[in-house]
Amino acid sequence: RRVIFSGIQPTGILHLGNYLGAISNWVKLQNEARPDDDILFTIVGWHALTLPQNPKELSVSRRDMLATLLAFGIDPKRSVLFYQEDNPCHVELSWIFNCITPLGQLRRMTTWKSRLATVRNANDESEVDESLLNAGLFTYPILQAADILAYQATHVPVGEDQTQHLQLTRDIADAFNRTFDPQKKFFTLPEVLITPNRRVRSLKDPSTKMSKSNPDPSTRIMLTDTFAQIDKKIRSAVTDSIHGITYDPVNRPGTSNLLSILAACENADVEEVAKRYVDKGHGVLKKDVSEALEGLLKGPRSEFERLRQDRGYLDAVAKEGAEKARARSQKTMEQVRTMIGLY
């Protein structure tokens, strides 16, 4: 029996890259799940705290994230949908794992290394200054391990950038098993469910990914954009001056990005989609991309706006999700406490 688990940060309104790269995979997994699969999706507020947050904005963002997931088709009857911070076991288990994880293992995380690369000693540029980073940034892969193992997840759908963290989760599970379980098999070692990675690129600089941190909003399509906004952004997307349309991500990244977006909207093969445009111009392609995006986003956008106003419903979904999540982790947590001698 599969237990599928994944989490997303409460970043508020998502962009097209987040949808095609992450959320759409969740929806597909849910809709194609076997009847006996257990599926859990969580909005990870504790993880968000590793970066500075404005409390008022965070409380809006987490609710917006819940509304977004529902609007795009996560069905709380089929998936356990909850806020991480509504089930105390994540933090509890993470503390226990903190106490069995060697520092060296955390230092090897590439996410940590790339954080370190951003902080330079004011007096000596060649030195990094760890004191500029908080401890949560260092230990959050442990919290991730707790998120996953609390539910004895067997499959974790993540992008390739997360495989190192998943390996750490397996190492922690194994360390716990060897330390506390005479049978050495208490925690299930979860597997990565590599989901198709549809990298969506910036509309203005296709050598970079579409990202929420880019200061220029015209580089990305937001899931709340109106048709007029979508159309304007797609029209001004960077392409090339080569005649005719071909799919060639290396030499024609802008054009290829538009083709990939169109193929994703149509759930079709990108090479097949490209064939239709071989003797057409960028104007025609852009018009079709805008319309396809509108087709994809129209329904979820209005559902999102409706849900956003319905706080009572959102709170009820969160409450029910939290109850289900707590029920699923309870037995594991009791056993863990017994094994470590604190029950």
Q: Which residue is nearest to ligand ATP (CB)?
A: 21
Is residue 164 within 8 A of residue 179, CB to CB? The reply is no
CA atoms within a 13 Å half-sphere pointing along the CA-CB vector of 296:
23
Min separation Cβ 164 and ligand ATP, Å: 14
Nearer to ligand ATP, 44 or 333 (CB): 44
Taking only Cα atoms into account, the Rg of the chain, rounded to an integer number of angstroms, comes to: 22
Nearer to ligand ATP, 6 or 152 (CB): 6
Does residue number 111 form part of the binding site for ligand ATP (CB under 6 A)? no
Nearer to ligand ATP, 17 or 96 (CB): 17
Q: Which of residues 11-40 bind ligand ATP (CB under 6 A)?
A: 11, 17-18, 20-22
Positive or negative: CA dihedral 28, 62, 203, 119: negative
With CB under 6 A as the contact rule, which of the stretches 42-50, 103-111, 117-125, 211-219 interacts with ligand ATP? 211-219
Does residue number 53 form part of the binding site for ligand ATP (CB under 6 A)? no
Backbone angles phi, psi at 304, to 5 degrees: -60, -45
The H helix count followed by the E strand count for the chain is: 14, 5
Does residue number 7 form part of the binding site for ligand ATP (CB under 6 A)? no
Min separation Cβ 339 and ligand ATP, Å: 33
Given 54, 213, 241, 267, the residue binding ligand ATP (CB under 6 A): 213
Compute the 3-state secondary structure of the chain and give helix, strand, coil in percent, each to the nearest 5.
55, 10, 35
Total residue length of the chain: 343
With CB under 6 A as the contact rule, which of the stretches 73-81, 165-173, 183-191, 192-200 interacts with ligand ATP? 192-200
Q: Is 123 exposed, middle or buried (0-12, 13-18, 19+ CB in 10 A)?
A: exposed
Does residue number 200 form part of the binding site for ligand ATP (CB under 6 A)? yes
Does residue number 118 form part of the binding site for ligand ATP (CB under 6 A)? no
Q: What is the DSSP letter of 222?
A: B
Binding positions for ligand ATP, rule: CB under 6 A: 9, 11, 17-18, 20-22, 159, 198-200, 209-213
